[in-house]
Chains A and B, each alone.
Chain A
Amino acid sequence: MVPFGGWDMPVEYSGITNEHLAVRTKAGLFDVSHMGQIELAGRDALAAVQRVSSNDAAKLSVGQAQYSALTTPAGTFVDDLLVYRLAGDHFLLVVNAGNIEKAYKWISDETRAIGDVAVVNSSARYALLAVQGPAAADIVQQLTTIDLASIKYYWFAHGEVAGVRSIISRTGYTGEDGFELFIPPASAEGIWNTILETGAGKGIVPVGLGARDTLRLEAGMHLSGQDIDETTTVLEADLGWIIGWKKADFIGKAALEQQKNAGLTRKLVGFEMTAPGIARHGYKAYAAGGEGIVTSGTQTPLLKKAIGMAYLPIAATTIDTEFEIDIRGRRTPARVVPRQFYKRSRS
């Protein structure tokens, strides 16, 4: 067990490689109850979300979710998050464990001037279990009468799972198909065990933080506090697609517009090592045009390559650009590749 955002979390159950491969080929069960939930409700809830979140929440239908950023006036990250539209005037924001208090205070403070909206930290009301992998839908379908085929990617439904009222969200942090289940904490242990029993024949295994990190990195997904934070802008993080440029305004919009017009000086890229060695968080990168910094790096259990993400000077961010990473005193060659290292085949 390791401390993580105030929780004691297992790094691994049966081994990172085994857990990683199970999620890619069968299914894995994650306890991600450490994630935070903040709800905004009231007549002006949409206006409040629109102010603090970079993506355009007006595009969300009830029952739909979107990835977004809580932005500072400089266009950098307070946190990244998922925004769920529970009802026309009721939103559920899912933020990272280490940032719950910070995000809650930020949202409360920044929406105070907006008329009718209540901001509630409801993190303690939800446990969150994620079932991820090609067999996830088969497994969860055995536990619910909701037709899961009717829930599209980044949509959700309310319904019972194993007899417990849940939000069933077709989302995840692995690059696989799967579901995240918002359930009452008192029911979490029972549902956890039921899912493992139900999925045993399909090869489901419990998955810890270690494989959660290798899976998300292989899928090219950012880790808040590591790849993105208050020093990196949404554009530098290569997340321009979560910026609602057409929205009237949001915190950080002006700064991001200015950065877009001026052009980026650095950007987050994916890379793979071209000689033996594994780059890790914080290692320095040396590229044409200057220095950069590795934000994530590992050996992927599936692709069996050393991969990672790094901020590099903009001149070095084109695919196939060669650069070097200082691995404990040894300059080791690496190459820029698409950040999504793994893409599942959709049947």
Chain B
Amino acid sequence: MYPADRRYTKDHEWIIVTGNLGRVGITDFAQKQLGDVVFVEPPDLGRAVSQGQTAGNIESVKAVSELYSPASGKVVAVNGDISSKPELVNKDPHGTWLFEIELSNPDEVKTLLDNNQYTELVK
């Protein structure tokens, strides 16, 4: 259910690392909790984010939730599809990245949960 190719936060984000870049999304558990996602406010391009800190917001019909960055670095890309199709977050949470970070400290990612630990967390 939770792919092994990435790491997970206790706040229900995931990050896939390729080289020094990390792509961030939210988990299936998170999208179920949120309900129908209608708006994603990713961090601004070029912004410095740090691990565990707020990096944006994700809104469902019900409420606003904060998006936390799983790692520190600089935001180098945001997924443009999300602004017109926020429902992708519900339909394909693990295939829909929200923003990409150039990691300033790739080792940080090792402190995050692996898929088994995350599965245990949301069990």
Output the nearest chain A residue to B90 by Cβ-Cβ distance: A15
Q: Are B83 and A17 in contact (CB under 8 A)?
A: no
Interface residues of A in 202-247 (CB under 8 A from B): 210, 214
Q: Are B62 and A277 in contact (CB under 8 A)?
A: no
Q: Are A16 and B35 in contact (CB under 8 A)?
A: yes
Output the nearest chain B residue to A211 by Cβ-Cβ distance: B61
| Interface residue B38 (Cβ < 8 Å from any Cβ of A) | yes
Task: Sort chain B's interface into a size bin.
Answer: 10 to 19
Output the nearest chain B residue to A209 by Cβ-Cβ distance: B62
Residues of the A chain whose Cβ atoms lie less than 8 Å from the Cβ of B35 = 11-12, 15-16, 210
| Interface residue B45 (Cβ < 8 Å from any Cβ of A) | no
Q: Are B61 and A210 in contact (CB under 8 A)?
A: yes
| Interface residue B117 (Cβ < 8 Å from any Cβ of A) | no
Interface contacts (Cβ under 8 Å), in number, total 39
Mask for A274-293, Cβ within 8 A of B = 1, else 0?
00111010000000000000
Mask for A9-31, Cβ within 8 A of B = 1, else 0?
00110011100100000000000
Residues of the A chain whose Cβ atoms lie less than 8 Å from the Cβ of B61 = 16-17, 20, 210, 214, 298-299, 301
Output the nearest chain B residue to A330 by Cβ-Cβ distance: B41
Q: How far, in whole Å, are A20 and B41 apart by their CA atoms in the complex?
A: 24
Residues of the B chain whose Cβ atoms lie less than 8 Å from the Cβ of A331 = none
Q: How far, in whole Å, are A321 and B60 apart by their CA atoms in the complex?
A: 27
Residues of the A chain whose Cβ atoms lie less than 8 Å from the Cβ of B60 = 16
Q: Are A278 and B36 in contact (CB under 8 A)?
A: no
Q: How far, in whole Å, are A276 and B59 apart by their CA atoms in the complex?
A: 11
**Shortest distance between the CB of B44 and any CB in chain A (Å):** 11
| Interface residue A328 (Cβ < 8 Å from any Cβ of B) | yes
Residues of the A chain whose Cβ atoms lie less than 8 Å from the Cβ of B38 = 278, 299
Which among B36, B41, B64, B83 is the interface contact of A280 at CB below 8 angstroms?
Answer: B64
Output the nearest chain B residue to A20 by Cβ-Cβ distance: B61
Residues of the B chain whose Cβ atoms lie less than 8 Å from the Cβ of A278 = 38-39, 59, 64
Q: How far, in whole Å, are A280 and B38 apart by their CA atoms in the complex?
A: 14
Output the nearest chain A residue to B66 by Cβ-Cβ distance: A328
| Interface residue B79 (Cβ < 8 Å from any Cβ of A) | no
| Interface residue B57 (Cβ < 8 Å from any Cβ of A) | yes
Q: Are A276 and B41 in contact (CB under 8 A)?
A: yes
Residues of the A chain whose Cβ atoms lie less than 8 Å from the Cβ of B63 = 280
8 A–B contact pairs at CB < 8 A?
A11-B35, A11-B62, A16-B61, A16-B62, A210-B62, A278-B38, A278-B39, A301-B61
Question: Taking beta carbons and an 8 Å cutoff, which residues of B are in contact with A?
Answer: 35-36, 38-39, 41, 57, 59-64, 83
Question: Taking beta carbons and an 8 Å cutoff, which residues of A are in contact with B?
Answer: 11-12, 15-17, 20, 210, 214, 276-278, 280, 298-299, 301, 306, 328
Q: In the A-B complex, list the 4 residue pairs whose CB atoms are closest, starting with the nearest.
A: A299-B38, A16-B61, A17-B36, A278-B59
